[in-house]
Amino acid sequence: MMSKQAFLCSLGSLYLSLLFVFLLMDVYARPANNSALKEKAPDSKDENEILPPDHLNGVKMEMDGHLNKEFHQEVFLGKEMEEFEEDSEPRRNRKKLMAIFSKVDINKDKKISAKEMQRWIMEKTEEHFQEAVEENKMHFRAVDPDGDGHVSWDEYKIKFLASKGFNEKEVAEKIKNNEELKIDEETQEVLDNLKDRWYQADNPPADLLLNEGEFLSFLHPEHSRGMLKFMVKEIIRDLDQDGDKKLTLSEFISLPVGTVENQQAQDIDDDWVRDRKKEFEEVIDSNHDGIVTMEELEEYMDPMNEYNALNEAKQMIAVADENQNHHLELDEILKYSEYFTGSKLMDYARNVHEEF
């Protein structure tokens, strides 16, 4: 029979052996570096600071052509959106929603009209615009190391590659000496696309130098009519299968090439297809001819289009307008709280009279 001391020694040896195996597995599981300039991987926050985001608050479609699933909440809540968390206390969220209802109801008749909702949507969209402007100031300082108020393409390229895990000093030195950078194919493709966007954001005279305003257009194309056009061209390029620079319904309900790995999962996603089809036919295709042009898509994408805001207001009201009076009343908006805020309120009917 094994002694206690022998058992402990055996257990210790087993532990060391397992630890060694796990360390070996970790080493071989790590991807090989594509470049000697690579160092530790960046955290996502640093990378997102200088990359144009795919998701733009208050814009109906993502840059990759997907519909913005949070759009209704973004244009109804504005910067208060983060306060309505899924795990928030329903009673507290109910009070916040009631306070919002009171603010939207300008004439205090205890119901919200399409015009009142339109005004509110424009106000909340402007909040997202101002938030982007403030964030841009911070991001611009991060990529303007010499503080001269302009960022060159090379300055941005250095910061971008640093955010992707390359050694910033070595990259800067190679660019300064016009030496070749060993960059993997995927990163180079992203860089090429970013440079196209950089050119578009560079207002005359074209010098590849962006000031703070131009850099805002680079990161947030919704702030510039010219960049909005460019974003629309990119979306149509990704979705347009026959190269006619227009979109049919069949093209619009197909995901951009390469964005999904499981084609079967896409095919059976009936809800996704239904939402896309409804948006195409009822909203984007304004003349209902079965074709979406660049002009139609641009109007749809423009977050500061007042007609779009009014149309959106009417749609939002229709979702919850149970008594069909073309207005939103408090009990309706509380009942459909998940649509407006992303937060589902329990026992809304029982509590509304207690608190209002």
- Residue 134 — φ and ψ, nearest 5°? -65, -45
Model confidence pLDDT, tens digit, residues 14-47: 444 444 344 333 433 333 334 445 544 444 344 4
Model confidence pLDDT, tens digit, residues 117-169: 999 999 999 999 999 999 999 999 988 878 899 999 999 999 999 988 899 99
- Residue 38 — φ and ψ, nearest 5°? -70, 140
The pLDDT value given to residue 240: 93
Token pair for residue 353?
């009279």
The pLDDT value given to residue 38: 52
The pLDDT value given to residue 323: 95
Instruction: Put residue 243 in one of left, alpha, beta given phi > 0 → left and psi -120 to 50 → alpha.
Output: left
Closest CA to 304 of 72, 121, 132, 136: 121
Contact yes or no for 80/337 (Cβ under 8 A)? no
Closest CA to 272 of 289, 257, 288, 254: 254
List residues bridging with 329 in a β-sheet.
Answer: 111
Contact yes or no for 327/306 (Cβ under 8 A)? no
The pLDDT value given to residue 26: 41
Residues of the chain with pLDDT under 50: 1-2, 4-9, 11-36, 39-48, 256-258, 348-356
Token pair for residue 30?
């790590």
Distance CA 19, CA 105 (A): 64
The pLDDT value given to residue 87: 60
DSSP string, 227-287: HHHHHHHHHHHHH-SSSSS-EEHHHHTSPPTTS-S-HHHHHT-HHHHHHHHHHIIIII-TT
Instruction: Put residue 176 in one of left, alpha, beta given phi > 0 → left and psi -120 to 50 → alpha.
Output: alpha
The pLDDT value given to residue 254: 81
What are the residue ranges spanned by the domains of the chain? 70-150+211-354
The pLDDT value given to residue 343: 78
pTM of the predicted protein model: 0.75
